[in-house]
Amino acid sequence: MASAVRTASKKLTIGMIPADGIGREVLPAAQRAIEALGSSIPKPTFVPLLAGFELFTRTGQALPEETVDSLKHECNAAMFGAVSSPSRKVTGYSSPIVALRKKLDLYANVRPVKSVDGTSGRKVDMVIVRENTECLYIKEETQTTTPAGKEARATRLITERASRRIGQMAFEIALNRPNRHLTIVHKSNVLSVTDGLFRETVRAVPKLPEVGGRYDAVTVDEQLVDSMVYRMFREPEVFDVAVAPNMYGDIISDAAAALVGSLGLVPSVNAGDSFVMGEPVHGSAPDIVGKSIANPIAAIRSAAMLLSHLGHHDAAKRIDDAVDSVLREGQVLTPDLGGKSTTEEVTEAVVKRI
């Protein structure tokens, strides 16, 4: 079980996977932020790696085996940019980020959504812990033709094992936060078998023999996913840590980004027991590719999360404090936040403060 607190890693070999769209524009910002830390962390080695839909259109491969082998045998962490998965079916294509989560057993997608003190807007400070390997994202779909027309079906997988370990990750994160509160998100009033298993398994985590009362200080409640979205917008301050199956976690974390102003601010890490990969929550944003206006902050904060997960907590705080300072001053902002600055200008402002 991956702990929320780790001993600092003695090496930093980071696979860099820009992939598609603005991923190629924001990942260099994350690298610059890490490099700006200087001797306060082990000297990082950055390994450029390939993946993505654009790669697939050129080569027929969205995730080359060379990329997976490098991550498994050469790197101890990675940063992922963004992927341009099409909304239509493309024969032979499968999302490389979904595949990486499975191949590296990155079973938790940890997505903090936090406002910055001293800026306008409501106070928000929550962490969404998304199960990362199953639910509808196993992508088992079929389509048949009946006398009434086409019929499509999708298989949804929820297992006790995956629910237990994402539950334990969520309890661990909650234990290390001031409010020590966990909300289990589900829809078991309708999906009583699948969501019922998720709900029951997460609730049982504190009673596991190996836990031994470790989570007794964590309070627990539940929220149906639809009312979770409603209440999150009405009363975001009541939420601390929320744990959810894969699809619900994806939806509520994107929605929560609106509470702090932009998807361009929200970071994440994909975490397992032996590997971590930072990933900004935003997508590939094809409408702004090449315009130098992509917000690099989500990628920079994802780099900070990666370092913290590897045990470099002071270094991660330096990055976060620098970002907070830029946002608080409000002079150097990309257009998604109402500013006129470029990706490079925001990056430079953060790096200067690091």
What CATH number does residue 351 fall under? 3.40.718.10
Q: Do 264 and 307 reside in the same domain of the chain? A: no
Predicted pLDDT of residue 85 = 82
For the chain, how many structural domains are there in total? 2
Q: Token pair of 203, please? A: 């609730």
Strands (E), the chain: 13-19, 45-48, 77-82, 108-114, 125-131, 141-146, 149-154, 181-186, 219-224, 241-244, 269-271, 276-278
Report the relative pairing of strands 149-154 and 141-146 from DSSP bridges: antiparallel
Q: Do 117 and 66 reside in the same domain of the chain? A: no
In contact, 206 and 218? CB cutoff 8 Å: yes
Task: Give the span between the Cα atoms of 263 and 247, in whole angstroms.
Answer: 17
Return the amino acid letter for 201: T
Predicted pLDDT of residue 120 = 67
Q: Do 253 and 285 reside in the same domain of the chain? A: no
Predicted pLDDT of residue 6 = 59
Q: Token pair of 59, please? A: 């080569």
Residue of 115, 139, 112, 89 lying closest to 246 (CA atoms): 139
Residue 118 belongs to domain spanning = 107-271
Task: Give the span between the Cα atoms of 71 and 13, in whole angstroms.
Answer: 9
Q: Do 93 and 118 reside in the same domain of the chain? A: no
Q: Do 10 and 121 reside in the same domain of the chain? A: no
**Chosen domain end from 271, 292, 322:** 271
Measure Cα distances from 88 to 21, 82, 93, 237 in Å.
18, 18, 11, 38
**Chosen domain end from 227, 244, 271:** 271
- Per-residue pLDDT tens listing for the chain (354 residues): 344 445 687 889 999 999 999 999 999 999 999 999 999 999 999 999 999 999 999 999 999 999 999 999 999 999 999 999 888 889 999 999 999 999 999 999 999 999 998 776 778 999 999 999 999 988 888 999 999 999 999 999 999 999 999 999 999 999 999 999 999 999 999 999 999 999 999 999 999 999 999 999 999 999 999 999 999 999 999 999 999 999 999 999 999 999 998 999 999 999 999 999 999 999 999 999 999 999 999 999 999 999 999 999 999 999 999 999 999 999 999 999 999 999 999 999 999 999
Q: Do 182 and 263 reside in the same domain of the chain? A: yes
Predicted pLDDT of residue 155 = 95
**pTM assigned to the model:** 0.92
Q: Do 308 and 339 reside in the same domain of the chain? A: yes
Q: Do 126 and 71 reside in the same domain of the chain? A: no
Predicted pLDDT of residue 2 = 41
Q: Do 177 and 137 reside in the same domain of the chain? A: yes
Q: Do 240 and 290 reside in the same domain of the chain? A: no
Q: Token pair of 94, please? A: 């499968």
**Chosen domain end from 221, 245, 271:** 271
Q: Do 94 and 210 reside in the same domain of the chain? A: no
In contact, 275 and 74? CB cutoff 8 Å: no
Q: Token pair 């997976």 is at which residue? A: 68
Predicted pLDDT of residue 5 = 45
Q: Do 192 and 245 reside in the same domain of the chain? A: yes
